Chains A and B, each alone.
Chain A
Amino acid sequence: MTVEVSELRVHYRTLRGSVQALDGASLEVGDGEVMGVVGESGCGKSTLGKSLIRMDGRMRHVGGSVRLGGEELPIADDRAMQRFRYHEVSLIPQYAMSAMNPTRRIGRMIRELLESRGVRYAEVRRELERRLELVGLGADVLKRFPIELSGGMKQRVVLVLSTLRDPSLLIADEATSALDVANQRAVAEALVQFRDRGFIGSMLFITHDLALVAQLADTVTVMYAGRSAESAPTSELLRRPRHPYTRMLLSAVPEVGTTIDESRQEGIPGSPPALLDPPSGCRFKDRCPLAFEQCATRPPFIEVASGHRVACWKAE
């Protein structure tokens, strides 16, 4: 199903005020597409992911909307969201390594979760085992405790568990970041394979790794300080980046495998603005070499070519 996020604003309530972690994030994912979501640490990627499935008690929906296959997702309404969770929208969390209850056997935890969501375990058991096999795991992992598994194995179990209900939208938040290179490839390929087999509808693939995005994403959204900076088909974005931030990101990545945070240290001077009290106008203006007077007002996120949207006054 298609996913449309428009001008989504979600803030964190803190003692010092509200952190404007998402303040105008927009993106569109086509049916069956994989969209890579990239941006420096703290730019709101995980916040975006959480907003689409479950907001925690500190998060507050301030504005904007999310549509899934034309239907509006009631993201601010915890109860109304319930029927979408897991069945329609699912998540591989950034903390997948510690996502499973350490004192329950994995199979039992999965059974208890499924049955609490009204799914008979016996009915999906064979499918579960088949999918575990697809990611290279034997059915015996179900009898084990999480600490008996390696990090890569845990990541795969969570991948299978999260996608077991064939969600229309999967948010994969750094699903490969904690793994070594071989495991990264394997998990990324498993994700694409699951999409090809129809286990997953659309996917938001949140990552720091530009090389992985180049390989498996159909489209990319670059986020900066809680907002969408640029969004385009992957090859288009890599070949013709329009936003100064995207350009600096790409030019600062000399070889594949480098992550955005590493590139920032070498390439882009300065650091992103604090989101507790962000400056008005374009949030990149303090670091932007092209900044001029107009940048004091916020640039709209508009289409500059087919499927290519940019938020910059200088993008033509």
Chain B
Amino acid sequence: MGRYLGRKAVLYALTFFVAVTVNWMIPRFMPGDPVQSMLGRASVSDPQARAAMEDHYARLFGLDVPLWKQYLGFWGSLFQGDLGTSVWLFPTPVTEVLLDAVPYSLVLLLPAILLSWVAGNRFGAFAARSRWLDNTALPLSYLLTATPYMWLGVLLAWGLGVVAGWFPATGAYSFALTPAFTWAFLSDAFAHWVLPFLSLFLVAFGGWAIGMRNLIIYELEADYSAYLRALGAPRRLVRRYAFRNAMLPQITGLALQLGTIVAGSLLTEVVFAYPGLGSLILEALNNRDFFLLQGAFLFIVIGVLIANLVVDVLYVVVDPRTRIQMQGGA
């Protein structure tokens, strides 16, 4: 067990290291110079004042020292939670800008991931036992998973938002309101949340449902199912075993799909102008705010890594086979 977790920890640490390094490179090797961009805003013409400002900003952004020092310094401030200063919202620290946006992303992502997984698995297992459902729901599920996240988002925004007018199609709440724990605000925020959530949920739901349906059918044909049936075990018991065993690959699937779903949610936020990390990334790109971009990517990478770790550990807990093999190996 210890050795397995140790190996995993090394793998995660390595991934984290590479991700941070790549992140560090973004503002430094992308076209566009953050210092020039700040100067452009100030529109100073006096060359002396300009040079002084150039100095000032270079120091502020930490660009006045050799690259290797910048790199080490980046790690140092990272561990203090300091991701630099935003160019777009100067002089707000990047961390602060991000922390404002993260709750919106989480509020979309977590329910979409978990609910689609649970509901998709249940539905897939259910569809596998009814020929009628299998024939109608399955093609629909295939259609759903094959739909790009953004595309379904646009479709929903247009259909249920603009044409039907059931739900607002942009923003996280109405302009007239300010965030507060009041009934008026929460219900308004919920209405804004429905469409982006739905477009994320539906695409993922279709995928889980198909996966589960196929896995269940495979498990029901497995030898242990045949043996139970031969000994007269009722359908309920056979199905319970099959469902449980089919869940295991779905847990692995969840870990594999996390990245895709997160990427999908970034696009979905953009479609619905939902003020999470996705919209922030768009702004950062438009404003050439590479520090903000860097910070946003870092947040996402850390989030996905943590989620993966959780799923990994969960898998070990639920599958006796890996557990036993690990005991044997360690």
Contacts and interface: CB of A to CB of B under 8 A. Distances in A.
Interface of A: 50, 53-54, 56, 82-83, 85-87, 90-91, 93, 95, 98-105, 112-113, 116-117, 145, 147-148, 158, 162
6 contacts: A53-B230, A85-B232, A86-B232, A90-B231, A117-B232, A148-B324
A112 B245 CA distance: 16
Contacts of B41: none
A113 B228 contact: yes
A101 B223 CA distance: 9
Given A85-B232, A101-B228, A117-B232, 16 more contacts: A85-B230, A87-B232, A90-B231, A91-B231, A93-B223, A93-B227, A95-B223, A98-B224, A99-B227, A100-B227, A102-B245, A105-B320, A113-B231, A116-B237, A145-B320, A147-B324
Q: Which of A83, A90, A93, A102 has the most CB of B within 10 A?
A: A102
Interface of B: 222-224, 226-234, 236-237, 241, 244-245, 248, 319-321, 324-325
Contact of B230 (A54, A105, A116, A117): A54
Given A116-B237, A145-B320, A147-B321, A103 B245 contact: yes
Contacts of B234: 116
A240 to B, nearest CB: 37
A85 B234 CA distance: 11
A103 B315 CA distance: 12
A105 B321 CA distance: 11
Nearest to A50: B230
Main secondary structure of the interface of B (DSSP, over half): helix
A218 B232 CA distance: 29
B226 A101 contact: no
A202 to B, nearest CB: 18
List the 5 closest pairs (A to B, CB-CB), nearest first: A85-B232, A99-B227, A98-B223, A86-B231, A95-B223
Contacts of A147: 321, 324-325
A227 to B, nearest CB: 24
Nearest to A102: B321
Contact of A112 (B237, B321, B324): B237
A282 B152 CA distance: 65
Given A104-B241, A112-B237, A117-B232, A56 B226 contact: yes
Nearest to A117: B232
Contact of A93 (B230, B232, B236, B248): B230
A145 B321 contact: yes
A103 B230 contact: no
Contacts of A87: 232
Contact of A101 (B232, B241, B248, B319): B241
Contacts of B248: 103
Contacts of B233: 113, 116-117
Contacts of A83: 232
A100 B241 CA distance: 11
Contacts of A56: 226
B223 A145 contact: no
Contacts of A99: 223-224, 226-227
A85 B224 CA distance: 16
A98 B319 CA distance: 17
Contact of B244 (A53, A103, A158): A103
A161 to B, nearest CB: 8
Contacts of A91: 227, 230-231
B320 A85 contact: no
Contact of B319 (A53, A103, A112, A148): A103
Q: Which of B227, B232, B320 has the most CB of A within 10 A?
A: B232
Nearest to B320: A145
Contacts of A112: 237
A158 B230 CA distance: 13
A112 B319 CA distance: 19
A302 B159 CA distance: 77
B132 to A, nearest CB: 17
A162 B231 contact: yes
Nearest to A95: B223
Contacts of A103: 241, 244-245, 248, 319-321
A13 B231 CA distance: 23
A66 B233 CA distance: 22
Nearest to B221: A56
B224 A101 contact: yes
Contacts of B325: 147
Given A112-B237, A116-B237, A145-B321, A82 B232 contact: yes
